[in-house]
Amino acid sequence: MAEHRIRALALCVFHHNGKILVNEFRDPVSQQTCFRPVGGGIEFGETSAEAIVREVQEELRLSMTDMRLLGTLESLFVYNGKPGHEIVQVYDATFVDQGVYDNAQIDGHESDGAPFTARWHDSSSFSEQAPLVPNGLHELLKSAGLLG
């Protein structure tokens, strides 16, 4: 049996006109739809800021600027029938290429090569049945004035 571990994660919220860029995915077991900003695991020896720059470059092939830490969340959850525990550093940033904001969606690739599509969503897209994850992210973004 695999050992349970706490995972360190960095996510970046890109916002534009009251919307944020998120990846939509479905839990294979519960079939629940969830939304999450771009990002991923922090590797040993790198800071969370370095991790988010690397993740955005690897996943979207885009550069960013004006990065700032919004806060830290602790997330306990079940995904794919297994318990998870993450400490999440949440950043805000701006794409260097301003033309990106004109695209309704941005195609990307996970670290394992799996394709995904990130889209711009406002707060009306998120609900208890289709949450913005990790838990507490919606409230953090509302308090920072990035999401209504």
pLDDT band at 111 (very low <50, low <70, confident <90, very high): confident
**Is 121 part of any domain?**
yes
Tokens of 93: 């940033």
Please give the mean pLDDT across all residues of the chain: 94
Angle made by CA atoms 131, 132, 138, in degrees to the nearest 5: 115
Q: Is residue 148 part of a domain?
A: no
Report d(CA 142, CA 148) in Å as an integer.
6
Is the per-residue pLDDT at 117 higher than 90?
A: yes
In a domain, 1, yes or no: no
pLDDT tens column, 11-42: 999 999 999 999 999 999 999 999 999 999 99
| Domain carrying residue 55 | 7-143
Q: Could you tell me the pLDDT band of residue 2, with boundaries at 50, 70 and 90?
A: low
User: HSE on the CB side for 26, CA within 13 Å?
Assistant: 4
Is residue 2 one of the residues assigned to a domain? no
138, part of any domain: yes
Domain membership flag for residue 71: yes
Q: What is the CATH number of the domain that holds 132?
A: 3.90.79.10
| Burial state string for 9-38 with b = 16 or more CB within 10 A and e = fewer than 16 | bbbbbbbeeebbbbbeeeeeeeebebbbbb
Question: Could you tell me the pTM of the whole model?
Answer: 0.93
Given this model, what pLDDT does residue 4 score?
85
Q: pLDDT at position 120, please? A: 97
Q: Is residue 73 part of a domain?
A: yes
Q: Is the bond leading into 37 cis (omega within 30 degrees of zero)? A: no
Give the tens place of pLDDT for each residue, 38-81: 999 999 999 999 999 999 999 999 999 999 999 999 999 999 99
Q: How far apart are the C-alpha atoms of 46 and 37, rounded to whole Å?
A: 20
Is the residue at 78 inside a domain? Answer: yes
Split into its structural domains, the chain has a count of 1
- Pairing status of strand 38-41 against strand 7-13: antiparallel
